[in-house]
Amino acid sequence: MYTELRAQLDALTTEAVRPELAEIDRWSTLDIARTMNAEDAGVPAAVAAQLPQIAAAIDAVAERMADGGRLLYAGAGTAGRMGVLDASECPPTFNTDPAQVVGLIAGGPEAMVRAVEGAEDSAELAAADLAGLDLTPADTVVGISASGRTPYAVGAVRYAREAGALTIGLACNAGSELGAAAEHGIEVVVGPEVLSGSTRLKAGTAQKLVLNMLSTITMIRLGKTYGNLMVDVRATNEKLRARARRIVAQATGASPEAVESALAAASGEVKPAILILLAGVDAPEATRLLSAASGHLRQAVPPRP
């Protein structure tokens, strides 16, 4: 078993050893930092090579989420943490329900800070975690794995596909098992790491960039923005309340007094406050117009004469 696994790892670009870095522990700190920075600089280009696949996946996700579906990430170790991080940022950024974008990590919440032995090797664990969420065909499951072979991520995608959900496989090796298992394979090949096999480095950065796109552009498609303004921001602290005022002012050009009045009438919600000012309606009518436009402020704003 271990001989087979070693052979699999030896064939992976993400696990390759860089002979020219064999003395890195003897280098100056500045030289190590320069090397890492130079390696990181190539990650955006690797992501760019996958933009058509990323865009196609986003369109498919947005279509399903518009019908009430969820976006579910599944991964182990660093990959799992990236999914949990992206999911956790959606409620405060886009005012989504916490159940709408969910991150699953092999081994559960404890694995966010401590390795859970054997969790990533279990496809059955992934199936059990997803079974507890009652998947529907409107849902999307994104398996995340730098190697593209992690049983938990591959198992999650295979279980989701059998359940009729949309599946995306995000890996950092070409021709990966994960990419092949999913309907949408996204394989961002960043090459060997500065530290052999430490895929929290370039691979982790690539995963973060792709997940940023998946969630952010999906939310744009769902009407969570007005232009490039985050009009569904949840103002839960002073900084975000100040941001809400600023967004309303930027969208409408209204005076500070008018902005405060509109936000008060809209119970602090940015979208209806903007509509109150742009359409000249009261709060109940703003809410009705937004509902008729399925929450898309751009569609609810009346055309300018």
190, two tokens: 């960043």
Q: Residue 168 burial (CB < 10 Å; 0-12/13-18/19+)?
A: buried
Q: Can you give the CATH number for the domain in which 13 is found?
A: 3.40.50.10490
* Grouped pLDDT means (10 residues each) for the chain, 305 residues: 55 76 94 96 97 98 97 95 96 92 93 75 92 96 95 97 98 96 97 88 96 98 94 85 94 96 94 95 96 94 74
Instruction: Find out whether 215 and 71 touch, Cβ atoms under 8 Å.
Output: yes
- Residue ending a domain, choose from 187, 221, 255: 221
CB-based contact 159:180 (threshold 8 Å): no
CA 86 to chain centre: 5
Given 221, 246, 266, which residue is the final one in a domain?
A: 221
Q: Decide if 89 is catalytic.
A: yes
Asked whether residue 80 falls in the same domain as residue 217, the answer is yes
Whether the model clears a pTM of 0.95, i.e. scores above it, the answer is no
Please state, in angstroms and as integers, the Cα–Cα distance from residue 191 to each residue in 171, 188, 212, following that order: 12, 9, 21
Q: Confirm if 140 and 70 have CB atoms less than 8 A apart.
A: yes
Looking at the fold, whether 215 and 242 belong to one and the same domain comes out as no
pLDDT in tens, 250-299: 999 999 999 999 999 999 999 999 999 999 999 999 999 999 999 999 99
Q: Which domain holds residue 131?
A: 8-221
In this structure, the answer to whether residues 75 and 151 fall within a common structural domain is: yes
Residue 120 is among the residues annotated as catalytic for this protein = yes
Number of structural domains, the chain? 2
Token pair listed for 268 = 């602090």
> Within a domain: residue 233?
no
- Residue 33 has a CB neighbour count (10 Å cut-off) of 11
Q: Are both 146 and 268 inside the same structural domain?
A: no
Question: Exactly one of 120, 177, 193, 269 is catalytic; which is it?
Answer: 120
* Separation between Cα atoms, residue 47 and residue 126, nearest integer Å: 27
Query: What are residue 73's phi and psi, to 5 degrees?
Result: -100, 145
Inside any domain, residue 2: no
> Over the stretch 217-232, which tens digit does the pLDDT of each residue have?
999 999 999 999 999 9
293/305 Cα distance (integer angstroms)? 20
Q: Which class for 261: exposed (0-12), middle (13-18), buried (19 or more C-beta within 10 A)? A: middle
Of 162, 189, 221, the domain-final residue: 221
Q: Could you tell me if 194 and 149 lie in one domain?
A: yes
Q: Domain check: are 217 and 243 in the same one? A: no
The amino acid present at 7, given as its one-letter code, is A
Does any domain span residue 226?
no
Q: Domain check: are 176 and 42 in the same one?
A: yes
Catalytic residue among 89, 183, 260, 285: 89
CATH, residue 281? 1.10.8.1080
